Amino acid sequence: MEQLTTFATIFLGIFIEAAPFLLLGSLASGLVEVFISKDDMARVVPRNLIGATIVGGMMGFVFPVCECGVVPLVRRLFNKGIPISMGVAFLLAAPIINPVALASTYAAYGFGDMLMLRFSMGLLVATSIGLLFSLNPRPLSILRPGSIPAFAGASPQASQKPHKATKHIEKMNLVQVKQPMHQRLQMSLRFASDDFFDMGKYLVIGSMLAAGMQTVVSQSTLTDLGSGPVSSVLTMQLLAFVLSVCSTVDAFISLAFRNTFTTGSILSFLVFGPMVDIKSTMMFLNVFNRKIVLYLILLPFLMTLLIGIFINLNVGI
AA identity, residue 236:
M
C-alpha span between 214 and 209 (Å, rounded): 9
C-alpha span between 57 and 90 (Å, rounded): 5
Query: Coil, strand, or helix at residue 86?
Result: helix
C-alpha span between 120 and 99 (Å, rounded): 14
pLDDT at 225 over 90: no
Of 78-92, 174-188, 229-243, 302-316, minimum mean pLDDT range: 174-188
C-alpha span between 168 and 92 (Å, rounded): 26
Q: pLDDT (tens digit, 9 = 90+) per residue, 132-152?
A: 988 877 767 788 775 554 443
On whether the CB atoms of residues 294 and 300 are closer than 8 A, the answer is no
pLDDT at 191 over 60: yes
On whether the CB atoms of residues 247 and 101 are closer than 8 A, the answer is yes
pLDDT at 38 over 90: no
Q: What was the pLDDT predicted at 150?
A: 42
C-alpha span between 28 and 188 (Å, rounded): 9
On whether the CB atoms of residues 191 and 72 are closer than 8 A, the answer is no
C-alpha span between 33 and 38 (Å, rounded): 10
pLDDT at 164 over 70: no
On whether the CB atoms of residues 176 and 187 are closer than 8 A, the answer is yes
> How much is the pTM?
0.74
C-alpha span between 247 and 69 (Å, rounded): 11
CA dihedral 273→278→282→284, nearest 10 degrees, is 20
pLDDT at 93 over 80: yes
AA identity, residue 24:
L
Cα separations in angstroms, 17 against 10, 69, 105, 300: 11, 22, 12, 28
182 versus 122: the higher-pLDDT residue is 122
Average pLDDT over residues 38-49: 71
Q: What was the pLDDT predicted at 259?
A: 78
Residue 279 has, within 13 A of its CA and on its CB side, a CA count of: 20
Average pLDDT over residues 200-218: 73
